[in-house]
Amino acid sequence: MKFASVIVSVSSKEVNRIFEYKIPDPLIGIIKIGHRVLVPFGPRNIQGYVVNIKDSVDFDASKIRPINRALDIEPVLTRELIMLAKHLADYYIDPYISVIETILPAALKSQSEKVLTLHSDASKEAADFFKASHSGGKVLTKKLDAEALKGIKPFIDSGDIIEETELKQHTNKKYARALKPTFQPGRDFGRAVKQLELLDYLENHEYIELSRLHEDGYSSHTINELVKKGYAEKIDVVIERDPYENRVFFEDKPKILNQDQDYAFGRIQDAMDRSDPKTFLLHGITGSGKTEVYLQAIKAVLDKGQEAIMLVPEIALTPQMVNRFKSRFGDEVAVLHSGLSHGEKYDEWRKIKEGRARVSVGARSSIFAPFENVGIIIVDEEHETTYKQTDRPMYHAVEVAKYRSSFHKCPLILGTATPSLETYARSDKSVYERLELNMRAASNTLPDTRIVDMAKEHRTGNTSVISSALKEAIQDRIDRGEQTVLLLNRRGYANFQICQSCGDVPNCPNCDISLTYHKSNHTLLCHYCGYEEEVKRECAACGSDDVTFRGTGTEKIEEILRDMFQVDVVRMDNDTTRRKGMHEKLLNRFEKEEVPILLGTQMIAKGLDYPKVTLVGVLNADTMLNLPDFRANEKTFQLLTQVAGRAGRHELSGEVIFQTYNSEHYAITLSESNDYQAFYEKEMEFRRFARYSPFYFHVLFTVSSEDVRKCLEAAAHVHEKLTAAVSDTAIIVGPSPSPIERINNQHRFQILLKYKREPDLSAVLHELDEFYYERYKKEGLSLRIDVDPQYIM
C-alpha cells in the first residue's frame, strides 16, 4: 500500500498543512511526487499537489481516503521546486500552497464547476427528467433555476443523478487540424495530378496543418479526396502559441572578448567546471559588454548538456534581450514574462518542462523555470527593486536564485553597473567574488555628463521644464540625424489640479493622495487605487472657475517636445505600454530611427542599446531623492547612472544632461562623475549611522483597516509582541502612520524591525500572521509582513 502527502489548493491558514491520501492500486507507480491530483476534501473534490510518497502512515490507514485521479501524465513540479516552495513559505511567512501556485504558470491553476451526471442504473423516471433538463452539453448545477433544482433534488438524494466537481484549467493546449500520410501502397490517381503532388508533399512530413496546406494552394476538395482514398487521415495536433513566430532572428556570432571580459569569463567557467555554487558580482560600467559574457557562459553550459536561467528586471528590456539570445541560441530559448498571454506563457513553460528549450529568458517569475539540470543562473541589473514581488508571496528573485544555485551546484552571476549596497558589501567581504569590467566593450569612452541647476535657470528667466542647454543639445541631435532619450519618472499630464482662489486640491476619496491629471482622456486619476473622475472646471470647494494644473508628467512633456521641435516623440510609461505588445512596438519605432526622441519613465533607463542615441537628458533628477525611504539616495544614483549609460554606446560619442534643484547632492554629483566607489563609501557611512541594511536586516509590518482605532490597537499589539520576543540588540521603529496614511479606504500604520540575529524570529512572525489572519476574517483588519523590504513606504 502506498500513501501520498498532498497539499490542497485552498489558500487558507486552517489547511496550510499536509494531508495524507491513499494511492489506489491502479495508480501506484503512476502518481509521482509533483503530480497534480483530484482528492476528496470534506464534501467536495479539489485539486492538490503530491509533495511526498510513503509506504506507511502514523495512524489508522483504513480511515485514509483515496486519491480520485491524477490530473497530468507527468508531474508539473520537480522535487527541487517542491523543496523551494516550502523554504519560501517558511522564510516569507506565506501559505505553502500560495507559493506552489506562484511557481506554476497561471494556466495550471484550476477552476471548478458542479456537473450533474446520470447514474448508469438510474430509473427511467430519472433518465427522462435528466434528458428534459438539458439541451446538449453539460448540466451545470449553477445554471439550474429554482424550479429545476427542486425537481432534480429527489433524484440526487436517491443517487439516480450524481453531482460531481469538474476541474478545468485556465488555459489548455492549443490544437489544430492536420493531414497525416497513411503510407499505403499503390498510387492510382489517374488524372488527379494535384492529389499525387499533395501525397508527395505529405510523405516528407509526419503531418502538415490544414491551414498551411491551404496557404500552399491545396483545396479542401483535393485534401478530402486524398482522405477518401485512404492515402491520408485528418488528425488533431498540438500547436504552440509562439509570441515570436513573425520575428526573423539573424544569427549572431560570439564576439572576441577584451581583457576584462576574458578574465571574468575564465573565472565563471572555472566555477562551472568545478560545479561550484559561487556567487559572482559582475560589476561593469554601462556598455562594458556584460551581456556578451553572459552569452558565452551560457554557451559553455549548453555544451555540457545543461540549462541556463537568465533574468531581466523589466518587460521593456525583454525584446532586446530576446533578440540577442534568440539570435545566438535559436529555438533553445524560452521566454517567460508577464507581457505574454496565459496561453503563450503556458506553451513557453511546456517547452522548458518537456526539454525542448534549455535557456529561459524573462522577468522575476522566470526564476521558477522547471529545469532539472541548471548549469548557470544570471540576474541582470541585480540592483532593481522589481526583483522583489510586492504582493504575497513577497519573495525576492535573487534569494530564490541563490537557493537554486546551491541546489544545482552551479554559479550565480549578479550583473550590474550599480550594485545594491548589500551586494557590493558582500563582495567587499569576499562572500561574493567581484569581477570588474572597467572599459566599454567597443573601446569608446563614457559620455560627457553635466549638471544644470534649474534654480539658476529660472532666475535667468527660463521657466520652461526644458533648460536652455538641453533644448540646444536636442536640436543639435535632430539636425545631425541622431537620437535623444529623455527621462521623467512621473507619468500623467500634471501632478495635480488646484483652485487659485481657495487653494483646494482634488484628492482621491479612497487614498490620502492628490489626483493626477491625464489630458488624453481628460480625467483625474489616482495612481494607487485606480479611482477616476472627470475634470471639472469649477472648484468643488468654493465654486470658482479659477482652476489650473501644476507639475509636469510625461504626457505634458510629450506635448511640449512636439511643439518645441516639430518632431514626433515616442512616449513609454504605464499609460502607453498597458496593451499587450506595446513595449516592443514602441521600441521598434525608435530602433528603426523613425523618431528622434524617446521619452519615458524609469522603464527606459536600463538595458536599451541603440547606436544613434548620443544624448540623454534627465528632466528632474530629484524625483526619487524626495521619497521618505532610506534607499532614496541609492535609487537616485542607480537610476541616473543607468540612464546616462544609454548614450554613446557605439561609434558616436555621447552627452548626458541632469536637470536638478539639488545640484550639490552627492547622489547627483557622483552620478555625474560615474564614481560608484565614492558613492558606496559615502552611503555606507549614512547606513551605519542610521543602522540600516546592509548593517541590519529588516522586517516591515503594515497594519491596515477601515477603522483607524482598530488599526492603532493592532499596531500597539504587534509592537508589544515584538518587544517581548526579540533581543535587546534589535531596534523597533514605530508604530507610526505610513507615509501614505490611507490607500483604498484602508488606514495604514507601520512598524520597522531592524535586527542582526534573531533565531526565534520566524516563529513569532508566523504566530502574528496566523493571529491576524483570523482577525482579518472576522473584522477586516490585516497585517502585512514584508521580510527584507525594498521600500519602507
* Residue positions forming the annotated binding site for Zn(2+): 499, 502, 508, 511, 526, 529, 539, 542
Exposure class string for 649-658: b at 16+ Cβ within 10 A, else e: bbebebbbbb
Among 680, 613, 668, smallest CA distance to 418 is for 680
For residues 122 and 162, the answer to whether their CB atoms sit within 8 Å is: no
**Helix or strand or coil: residue 775?**
helix
For residues 381 and 247, the answer to whether their CB atoms sit within 8 Å is: no
Q: What is the DSSP letter of 167?
A: E
**C-alpha distance across the termini of the chain, in Å:** 54
- Neighbouring CB atoms inside 10 A of 740's CB total 13
Alpha-carbon distance values, 567 to 270, 479, 483, 734, 741 (Å): 52, 11, 12, 52, 43
Q: Which helix (H) or strand (E) holds 600?
A: strand 597-600
Residue 40 pairs in a beta bridge with: 45
Say how far apart CA 438 and CA 433 lie, in whole Å. Answer: 16
Say how far apart CA 441 and CA 257 lie, in whole Å. Answer: 8
Say how far apart CA 437 and CA 434 lie, in whole Å. Answer: 10
- Using alpha carbons only, how large is the chain's radius of gyration in Å? 31
For residues 749 and 55, the answer to whether their CB atoms sit within 8 Å is: no
Q: Could you tell me the three cell numbers for 702?
A: 503594515
Q: What is the DSSP letter of 14?
A: G
Among 331, 335, 302, 332, smallest CA distance to 317 is for 335
Say how far apart CA 92 and CA 392 lie, in whole Å. Answer: 9
Among 270, 629, 111, 86, smallest CA distance to 280 is for 270
Say how far apart CA 654 and CA 670 lie, in whole Å. Answer: 18
Among 355, 406, 346, 432, smallest CA distance to 84 is for 406
Q: Please name the residue that has the C-alpha cell 505634458.
A: 556
Q: Crossing angle of helices 632-644/676-690, nearest 10°? A: 170
Among 464, 461, 546, smallest CA distance to 498 is for 546
Task: Provide the pairing of β-strand 208-209 with 279-284.
Answer: unpaired
Residue 507 pairs in a beta bridge with: 514
Say how far apart CA 384 and CA 390 lie, in whole Å. Answer: 13
Burial (CB < 10 A; 0-12, 13-18, 19+), residue 578, is exposed
- Neighbouring CB atoms inside 10 A of 411's CB total 26
Say how far apart CA 678 and CA 674 lie, in whole Å. Answer: 9
Q: Please name the residue that has the C-alpha cell 548557470.
A: 376
Say how far apart CA 259 and CA 445 lie, in whole Å. Answer: 16
Maximum Cα–Cα distance across the chain: 96
Residue 170 pairs in a beta bridge with: none
* Residue positions forming the annotated binding site: 499, 502, 508, 511, 526, 529, 539, 542
Say how far apart CA 367 and CA 710 lie, in whole Å. Answer: 39
- Neighbouring CB atoms inside 10 A of 254's CB total 10
